[in-house]
Structure 1
């Protein structure tokens, strides 16, 4: 049986689908609660911008999670996106000799 690779999920999709939609909360309403510009949340849930440490801290407080929860999702997404694009360049780097 072949291994199925699950595509990386942008943290904005998780925020939108797992938090905002079940709460019937708009990006603007969340932005007001977090005390950030509405556009920050809109761009995040449209998956055009990453979660920053500032946003992770605010989301963690509001949703009673941890900043690491949000930043780990972002890091996993970034690595999945950047890894294939940089693979040939990374392959050319020599390992430091012991």
Structure 2
């Protein structure tokens, strides 16, 4: 766990906001395109909501990407936040196990 990397985690909502700006879409119009509540899109854009599997499928379909792309962004964000919040404590509490047999 690399707790030395202190770069600010980027929420998927930031990436999504840039795409919406490029398309000149309102939140309401975009939510309609995805067939989801405006509150879901708004929460993601504000960094409070998560890109779950359903949303990832919809975003992938709309933008021509993969759902894995959107899930990856969310997971990477959550891991970075966890690393910043608890990484040092975890490093102090958990010792790495020495692997004597690489096949195990």
> Normalization by structure 2: what TM-score?
0.80
Q: How does 1:34-73 map to 2 (within 5 A)?
A: 34-73=34-73
The answer on whether the counterparts of 2:51 and 2:70 sit within 8 Å (CA) in structure 1 is yes
RMSD of equivalent CA atoms: 1.8
How many angstroms does 1:96 deviate by? 5.0
2:12–2:70 Cα contact (<8 Å) kept: yes
- Superposition deviation, residue 5 in structure 1: 5.7
Q: Which runs of 5+ in 2 are unaligned?
A: 100-104
How far 1:6 moved relative to its partner?
3.9
Asked if 1:90 is matched to 2:90, the reply is yes
Unaligned runs of 5+ in 1: none
Please tell me whether the aligned partners of residues 53 and 67 of structure 2 are also in contact (alpha carbons under 8 angstroms). yes
TM-score, with structure 1 as normaliser: 0.84
Number of residue pairs the alignment of both structures matches: 94
Residue 30 (structure 1) aligns with: 30
Is this contact kept in 1: 2:56–2:68, CA < 8 A? Answer: yes
In structure 2, the CA distance between the partners of 1:5 and 1:96, relative to structure 1 (3 Å rule), is: closer
